[in-house]
Amino acid sequence: MSITTWTWILVGVTFFIYILVAIRARAVSTGAFYTAERTIHPVLNGMATGADWMSAASFLSMAGLISFMGRDGSMYLMGWTGGYVLLAMLIAPYLRKYGKFTVPEFIGDRYDSQSARIISLLCAMFISFTYVAGQMRGVGVVFSRFLNVPINTGVVIGMCIVFFYAVLGGMKGVTYTQVAQYCVLMVAYMIPAIYISIMLTNNPFPALGFGSTISAGGAEILHDASTQGKYLLDVLDGLHQDLGLTQYTSGNRPKIDLFFIVIALMFGTAGLPHVIIRFFTVPKIRDARASAGWALFFIVLLYTAAPAVAAFARTNFIKTVHNVRYDHAPQWFKNWEETGLIAWVDKNSDGIMQYGSGHSFTGKPKYTGYKGSFGQAMVSNLVTADPNEIYIDRDIMVLANPEIARLPNWVIALVAAGGLAAALSTAAGLLLVISASISHDLMKGVLMPSMSEKGELLWARCGAAGAVVVAGLFGIFPPGFVAQVVAFAFGLAAASFFPVIIMGIFSKKTNVYGAMTGMIAGISITTVYIVYFKFLNPGANKPEHWWFGISPEGIGTVGMMINFILMYFVSRITPEPPQEIQNLVAKLRYPVERSLGETKISTDARRPY
């Protein structure tokens, strides 16, 4: 069967499973819609958290970025996994103990302020919409190639699916759906990784094959007998050197920028609302920490394979396109060329595709609708000084990898189903955050406190429906690569939520004035910096123009530091929080198996009751 037929079958079956699970686990109360009635087992919650976490950025874009950035791409692996340690130790158990539905609700209660609650819910919505843009973009990329539809049409299809099970099922439906999606995305990611590792190195473990020597069969696949017996990374370094590129195992990004990006990703992880709310769904406080441990285990299974997938894809890509006549180009190149996500323009009119350092075009090519052609408009955008003639969107590397390696059609289609599972699972979690911000924090918490549970549930579903539409628009007009957009969301979360949550848990003296000042300053500075370099003046988005050599992806660390500093000093020059709030903070850190909403606040901060 063809790739398209296999894709329709596998995607259709998986979507049917997601919808069936959503129907059977549909939410009939606000407790089920927001927190799945706190009935989820830690192992299942860890698996659902893994699916929620391993978004299109992890599945589609992370290995693609590592393929092109080499060692520098490891910052995404370090930042995203390191953040879970912070989340498990410093945040998840305490917020679960507090026993509320949402992060803005915790902030509003802890700082005893509706204004702080409103600011935090606006931050939550802003971060979530930024994050969901990358997910919908990933959905469009998958559909455009494997179902032969335009990217925008693919985004609309994804919107419809997410609309159904997020609006109907709420957190309860989404949790069980995410468990199924985790199974799909892991199988889809690992099968081709194992397959290619065996083909190139005879090692069935991708993480080990990544550092192994190329076998005789692998040398035959690469059409280069001289590679047999050489380490894969040595071969890849040699290919880069021959093409005038930085060695794959060497980095050329400023070290200060790498450090700041890793910190932004790490602390952003611990401040992301859609990840934090997952720990509100377990029965007990200790289950929240156990869930984080299980989530990290499930995530590591994919993350240890990502560098191997990146190296395999990069090696195969260079070997199959460089110095190849266009009329002899591999079929995978022609297939992806029709989507507009890969392109070739013959600069020297020799009919041979040349890949190397530099940019083939000044910007992303815009597909004109003619198969295999980008029209005369592309010629005016050529950078003739660069030897590179090929443009490739980094987000397609994982999806194209099985085709480049000439794996069976069913494996190629399975990767498409996995990519959709990764994107849709995270999109659903983000939409629930937006929905809860609108219904529970804004309508019920601020504007209509006397609203009935039925009315609140209606607002929650309407909010989710509206968020789906806006998310689709972000997917149609994305601000960058999937992982790049997600990195912006992490920076915003680090600059706004992480300081106010940490200080809210561990500092009795931090007050509402410091919290609001810190949140507003942190997210504002981060947003202005990102908008300036990515939208207002993208030509200046270079290390020599950045503040202290820090890129827009890493500026969230600066915003976080400013947030902490302002929060501390403003809290010291303004009145202390009321004594009952200070007692609540002290009580929050005791390992008590009862939520604070169910206990009487003691005036003795040293006692657990």
pLDDT in tens, 343-368: 888 887 888 888 887 777 655 454 43
Mean pLDDT of 39-57: 79
Q: How many residues does the chain have?
A: 609
Q: Are 298 and 53 in contact (CB under 8 A)?
A: no
Q: Please determine, for residue 444, whether its predicted confidence score (pLDDT) is greater than 90.
A: no
At 32, the pLDDT band (50, 70, 90 cuts) reads low
**Amino acid identity, position 180:** A
* Category of 422 on φ-ψ map: left (φ > 0), alpha (ψ -120 to 50) or beta: alpha
Encode pLDDT of 292-308 as tens digits.
888 888 888 888 888 89
- The whole-angstrom separation of Cα 514 and Cα 564 is 9
Note the pTM of the prediction, 2 decimals. 0.78
Give 548's contacts (C-beta < 8 A, 6+ positions apart): 256
Task: Please state the domain extents for the chain.
Answer: 3-313+408-577, 342-390
Q: Please determine, for residue 371, whether its predicted confidence score (pLDDT) is greater than 60.
A: no
Encode pLDDT of 198-257 as tens digits.
989 999 999 888 888 998 888 888 888 888 888 999 989 888 888 888 888 887 778 888
For residue 340, give both structure tokens.
């507009």
Nearest Cα to Cα of residue 135 among 429, 382, 455, 482: 482
Q: What is the pLDDT of residue 286?
A: 78
Q: What is the pLDDT of residue 33?
A: 63
Q: What is the pLDDT of residue 30?
A: 63
Q: What is the pLDDT of residue 25?
A: 64
Cα distances from 123 to residues 111, 235, 550, in angstroms, run 16, 46, 23
Query: Residue 391: beta bridge partners?
Result: 343
Strands 342-344 and 352-353: unpaired
Q: Are 115 and 446 in contact (CB under 8 A)?
A: no
- The whole-angstrom separation of Cα 509 and Cα 120 is 19
Q: How far is CA 452 from the centre of its chain?
A: 35
By CB atoms closer than 10 A (0-12, 13-18, 19+), residue 153 is middle
- The whole-angstrom separation of Cα 63 and Cα 312 is 10
Most confident of 70-79, 83-92, 384-393: 70-79
Return the sign of the alpha-carbon dihedral for residues 167, 173, 179, 180.
Answer: negative
What is the DSSP secondary-structure string of 547-602? BTTB-TTTHHHHHHHHHHHHHHHHHHHSPPPPHHHHHHHHHHTS--SS-GGGSPPP
Q: Where are the beta strands (DSSP E) in 47-129?
A: none
Torsions phi, psi for 324 (to 5 deg): -110, 135
Encode pLDDT of 561-570 as tens digits.
999 999 999 9
For residue 370, give both structure tokens.
């003619």
Cα distances from 220 to residues 217, 224, 225, 235, 236, in angstroms, run 5, 6, 6, 14, 16
- The whole-angstrom separation of Cα 216 and Cα 220 is 6
At 29, the pLDDT band (50, 70, 90 cuts) reads low
Q: What is the pLDDT of residue 607?
A: 31
Mention the CATH class of domain 3-313+408-577. mainly alpha
The SS3 assignment for 414 reads helix
Mean pLDDT of 402-421: 84
At 521, the pLDDT band (50, 70, 90 cuts) reads very high
Which three-class secondary structure string do you get for 297-337? HHHHHHHCCHHHHHHHHHHHHHHHHCCEEHHHCCHHHHHHH
For residue 276, give both structure tokens.
């934090």
Q: What is the pLDDT of residue 604?
A: 36
Q: Are 139 and 423 in contact (CB under 8 A)?
A: yes
Q: What is the pLDDT of residue 539?
A: 74
Q: What letters, b where the CB count within 10 A reaches 16 and e where it falls short, cover 244-277?
A: ebbbbeebebbeebbebbbbbbbbbbbbbbbbbb
- The whole-angstrom separation of Cα 604 and Cα 510 is 19
By CB atoms closer than 10 A (0-12, 13-18, 19+), residue 1 is exposed
Q: Are 324 and 352 in contact (CB under 8 A)?
A: yes
CA angle 157, 161, 163 (to 5 degrees): 110
User: Mean of the per-residue pLDDT values for the chain?
Assistant: 78
Percent of the chain surpassing pLDDT 70: 83
